[in-house]
Structure 1
Amino acid sequence: MTKTALTGMQLGARAKRIEILNTLPVAPEWSEASRKLRDDGYVDVTSIVDRSLAQAVAAVGDDKVRRLAELKGKQQLGHKSFWVSLLDEDLVDGAFATDHPFVRYALQPGILRILGDFMHELPQLSDVLLTQSLPSENKPLSYSQLWHLDHDDKRVCKLFIYLTDVRDTKDGPLTFIPAPSSKPFRNTIKSHMTDDKVFTKVDRSAVKEIIAPKLSSFIVNTARCLHMGSRIQSDRTRLLYTATYIQPPRMYPEPPARFRTTGPLSDIERAVMRL
């Protein structure tokens, strides 16, 4: 109801975002990806994304990992002991430069078209993140290691890239329940849930683990798909890129600007980042 009311108050802005979305190119594979995202709540976009942009993201990630000990002491998001946030040093007054490789990856026309067709308007890029998940066995599971839905907004989609190989369950793959099977939890789940609670409502056979090599990229509607991850075992680690998008207008007060203009930007890019 809140989202509907806010949208109704900003019909002109929404019409403009739809107009801008319609200037993006189209492709059959993008349309099919958007359909799958709508029906299942997730889609693999490895074959769709720009490989050179993915490699640029991976190069940044590799450099950060080489400096892990240094960056671990600087992270601002320190409440999750099982992972380290590695991009905090790239922020100026809390904002990323728009020419940062992580931002450029999130602005690919194909990704914006897939998300835009799904949301029926141009999406809003909310944040980008690089996390190194660390071994957590013999420790109680917490936060995103437990099953949950994202409540950043009514519609939330996340674009991920694995920046290390995720070979099996020990590497802590992103694990989720597709949208149709997650339906019993929507509008009822208020917090993170243990496996025992989840599997009283859904069969374990519905669970999907994303086991995939480095540079695999995928989108998940994390507001509709119950999910968890970072259950790293033994001496494994997992490096993960995440870009978060919402369907505007935002339900909650708009946070401080997350992006700062560096270099020329298109109208589409400005609209996506609210610049």
Structure 2
Amino acid sequence: MTVTVLAVLGRGLVDPATPVLRADDLGLLRGDGVFEAVHVRGGKPWMLDEHLARLARSAARMELPLPAPEALHDLIDQVCARVGPQEHSLRLICTRGSEEGGDPTFLVLGSPVGAVSINARDTGVRVRTATLGYAVGARTPAPWLLGGVKSLSYAINMASQRWAWSQGADDVVWVSADDYVLEAPTATVVWRDGSRLLTVPSAETGILAGTTARHLLDRAGEFGLTAGEELITPAGLVAADGAWLISSIRGVAELRSIDGQPLGPSPLTADIRRLLGF
């Protein structure tokens, strides 16, 4: 049985229907906070250390203190002990707290993985490209743009996906103003070029470095491939020998079309799913 479980710092497990945020919480008012989403398998969080490290990097960039590691792990353990054997997403959420000041708000939410995410692993996704309006290297010298930070400010991400749905697509691949592929609203772009398995460089572009994508590329040798990072245009992605959106919860979603141009299927998709456990 799949269940939703909530734990809040200082309160432990609470009913998920219980209000846990103040009306003036800055995470609610301004999206001022950070989060991570972790895949839970058989009650065990997958790649938890990598996600906690990225959460710490995001929090440091936003000058936001996280709970002590032992308190954080205790909340995670409480939630994972209750979610059951089916796959869940585990959201670790830290907001700046009340507008009046005081401690940040921290909570852990375990929720069943939805059917849309699961089905995308089998059917793949059709994507539209959408510009973010700035050049590929614009975020690196501008720290206030929060390149590489997994913040709660996801309004643009969700608006992008709703636009894609209105166009008959499943998701978006963002591109820079100078026509380079960046990332998807909730996933990392990975593609195959002959004997190479590639992704977009995060340091150069300010995209969020994907934990699951990094795990995949670190094991590219198991497919007889080499791993790397480089820039690519949407046209280059169409010409690739396979392309995927890789994320912690949806897992592996093969790109089946970009702006109406068909891709795949790639024989590597099944091997990637097996390697990543999806």
Provide TM-score, normalisation by structure 2: 0.25
Question: Which gives a bigger RCO, structure 1 or 2 (Cα 8 Å, sep 6+)?
Answer: 1
**Which structure: greater helix fraction?**
1
**Which structure: greater strand fraction?**
2
Provide TM-score, normalisation by structure 1: 0.25
